[in-house]
Amino acid sequence: MLEDAELQTDPSLEGQTAYLVRELLVSLGENPNREGLLRTPQRVERMFDELLSGYKTDLVTMVNGAVFQSNYRDMVLVKDIEFYSLCEHHLLPFFGHAHVAYVPDGKIIGLSKIPRLVEMFAHRLQIQERLTEEIADALNHVLQPKGVAVVVEASHMCAMMRGVKKAKASMITKSLRGIFQTNEKVQRDFLAFIQRNGE
């Protein structure tokens, strides 16, 4: 068994987030120098760097020129995009799937960019309603299509493990732009497509 002095890390070498996590552990009555918590501040700092990496990504850099001229005129849909985010109210995860569609008006975007767009906004402190709107607004800005539709389905740990403690409850939000708002058939087609299971 290592001695306490050997297990300790130098707090002066920690980043600000790790330092604050260490202070949080102390305020909770824990000993941040015990073996199980020794590297916890640094681990949490790295975790937040990853989970909040969306703040370091901008739309232009993410798209990276992957917008192409096209005569395709029908709906483009990418469904069941898995995502994980952090609720800004409790810093607890919420997670689920996003379904993103657009009807082009002369331009299409590279397939991988739509999941990356979802990830960019999910990797920030969020609420589901804003996440849904930001995805729709960004795709609308980049492509200026005839319409955009986004549906997000998610489970929230802040409602599952605390508060109301409803583990099976999920939340659905949607954001519609352009033809998805004004054309009922296009909207119905979109909703029908996202409800299909591998047909």
Annotated active-site positions, please?
87-90, 128, 156, 158
Produce one character per residue of 13-26: b if its CB has 16 or more CB atoms within 10 Å, e if not: ebeebbeebbeebe
Bridge partners of 175, per DSSP, are 150
Dihedral of the CA atoms 136, 186, 171, 56 (nearest 10)?
-20
CA distance 144 to 118: 18
CA distance 84 to 183: 32
Long-range contacts of 19-24 (CB under 8 A, 24+ apart): 21/45
Query: CB within 8 A of 82, min separation 6: which ones?
Result: 95, 96, 97
- Between the alpha carbon of residue 19 and those of residues 27, 33, 49, 114, 186, the distances in Å are 12, 13, 14, 36, 52
CA distance 92 to 77: 29
